[in-house]
């Protein structure tokens, strides 16, 4: 599933991140690439072990923890520490699939990449091109969101970043391992959760049907979750 998460980070949070990362030292983005990605990737990136990446990443992580939409959609078990990249002057990332397992450099921490996430950190009017293009079962989707908004999509998807032909595209990106490995099961749980919330809004949290549906949700989660 492909889900947009509006206003994940508010304007002040975006400003705080940009104040941290804009003056930092950026390196070739291929420092985190697999073999296939390295053939297609042209961008800059903050070193993942840098103080700037750590501090800015904590702002992103705090925002994720406050987002009920993110938690309902992703059912996160483990989140790779957020990374940051920059595209300008024709830089792009050609079509690729993310590595199945991501290992944090210098540690034993690893995640199975069930889902990928991009958090946009630049006003889309400030740069030309740079759309995140994702191939889905329903066709090609292009995503270019306001600063502070995010998109969540399966790591198994073919995707690319279109060339930036003017200005600078800045974003955070990372991967996560969901408690529910199967994308279709995760989609059903998300849809059921949204329906439960809708019915609860109409009938009240203590209505018998709301309690029944909530039980169905948790029993399915119990069946499918790896936690």
- Bind-site residues: 96, 98, 159, 169
What SS3 state is found at 134?
Answer: strand
Tokens 């697999």 label which residue? 34
Dihedral sign for Cα atoms in the order 17, 177, 1, 47: positive
Backbone angles phi, psi at 204, to 5 degrees: 100, 150
> Could you give the CA distance from residue 137 to residue 101 in angstroms, rounded to a whole number?
23
Residues 147, 44 contacting (CB under 8 angstroms) = no
- Please provide the size of the chain in residues: 227
Query: Binding site residues for 2-oxoglutarate, as ranges?
Result: 169
Reported as half-sphere exposure (CB side, CA atoms, 13 A), residue 59 has a value of 24
Burial per residue of 110-146, b for 16 or more beta-carbon CB atoms within 10 angstroms, e otherwise? ebbbbbbbbbbbbebeebebbbbbbeeeeeebebbbe
Query: Binding site residues for Fe cation, as ranges?
Result: 96, 98, 159
């Amino acid at each position: 599933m492909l889900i947009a998460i509006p206003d994940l980070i508010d304007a002040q949070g975006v400003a705080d991140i940009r104040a941290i990362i804009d003056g930092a030292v950026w390196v070739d983005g291929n420092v985190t690439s697999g073999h296939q990605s390295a053939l297609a990737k042209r961008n800059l990136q903050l070193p993942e072990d840098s103080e700037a990446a750590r501090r800015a990443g904590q702002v992103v992580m705090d925002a994720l923890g406050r987002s009920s939409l993110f938690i309902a959609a992703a059912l996160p078990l483990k989140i790779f520490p957020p990374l940051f990249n920059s595209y300008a002057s024709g830089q792009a990332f050609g079509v690729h699939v993310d590595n199945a397992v991501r290992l944090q450099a210098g540690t034993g921490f690893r995640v199975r990449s069930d889902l990928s996430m991009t958090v946009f950190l630049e006003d889309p009017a400030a740069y030309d091109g740079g759309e995140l293009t994702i191939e889905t079962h329903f066709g090609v989707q292009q995503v270019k969101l306001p600063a502070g908004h995010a998109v969540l999509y399966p790591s198994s998807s073919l995707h690319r970043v279109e060339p930036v032909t003017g200005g600078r595209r800045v974003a955070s990106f990372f991967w996560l391992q969901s408690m529910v490995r199967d994308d279709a099961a995760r989609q059903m749980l998300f849809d059921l959760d949204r329906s439960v919330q809708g019915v609860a809004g109409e009938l009240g949290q203590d209505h018998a049907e709301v309690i029944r549906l909530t039980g169905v949700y948790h029993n399915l989660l119990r069946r499918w979750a790896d936690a």
